[in-house]
Amino acid sequence: MIEIRQERESDYEEVGQVIKFAFASAEHCDGNEADLVANLRKSQAFIPELSLVAVEQQKVIGHILFSKVKIGKKTELALAPLAVLPEYQRKGIGKSLIQEGHRIAQQLNYDYSIVLGSPNYYSKFGCIPASQYQITAPFPVEDEFFMALKLNAKADAVNGVVEYDPAFGIC
């Protein structure tokens, strides 16, 4: 049985390996995803409750991290990265990590989650082009790949350019 739980410091090394293996053959990646997670853990953007792992038989097989971003005057979330060991992909683990992350994010009173990724994958969770919420990426990207999910149906509208934490290396 697979358990989704908050990441612990004792998981860090294993999580790093999961990320490296998960992104080793990814079509769009820069190879720095594990470093990004390590840097985010040390940043003001880190939210321990939203750094989750999927565990099977005491082995970390997946990880997801949501961190704080600014959109206009509001603090919201960015999903980055999501990683599942290749042999466990396409088995619903990523889906479980995303759903649990969104559930916790709602409990923590976040209203929006943004993600840069495959529209074929993230649209399954209700993500739509962020431009439909007047949310803009701080870098050039095709509209369909920069997405957002409104976590709280009653949330006020946000708009503006997303400001990522310096850990992301986006100037």
Confidence of residue 142 (pLDDT cuts 50, 70, 90): very high
**Residue 63 belongs to a domain:** yes
**Residue 61 belongs to a domain:** yes
7 or 27: which leads in pLDDT: 7
What's the mean pLDDT in 19-31? Answer: 76
* Range of the structural domain that residue 62 is part of: 2-165
What's the mean pLDDT in 135-159? Answer: 95
pLDDT computed for residue 5 by the predictor: 98
Residues 6+ apart with CB under 8 A from 160: 71, 72, 134, 135, 136
Are the beta carbons of 61 and 55 closer than 8 angstroms?
yes
Bridge partners for 114 per DSSP:
78, 148
pLDDT computed for residue 31 by the predictor: 61
**Residue 80 belongs to a domain:** yes
Peptide bond into 48 cis (omega under 30): no
Distance CA 54, CA 63 (A): 6
CATH of the domain at 52: 3.40.630.30
Are the beta carbons of 79 and 29 closer than 8 angstroms?
no
Q: What is the tally of structural domains in the chain?
A: 1
Q: Two tokens at 46?
A: 């880190």
**Residue 7 belongs to a domain:** yes
Confidence of residue 171 (pLDDT cuts 50, 70, 90): low
What's the mean pLDDT in 137-142? Answer: 96
Q: Where are the alpha helices (DSSP H) in 42-154?
A: 93-107, 119-122
pLDDT computed for residue 169 by the predictor: 86
pLDDT computed for residue 32 by the predictor: 83
**Residue 171 belongs to a domain:** no
**Residue 94 belongs to a domain:** yes
**Residue 96 belongs to a domain:** yes
Q: What is the pLDDT of residues 53-95, one digit of tens each?
A: 999 999 999 999 999 999 999 999 999 999 999 999 999 999 9
pLDDT computed for residue 81 by the predictor: 95
State if pTM tops 0.85. yes
**Residue 134 belongs to a domain:** yes
Q: What percent of the chain has pLDDT over 90?
A: 92
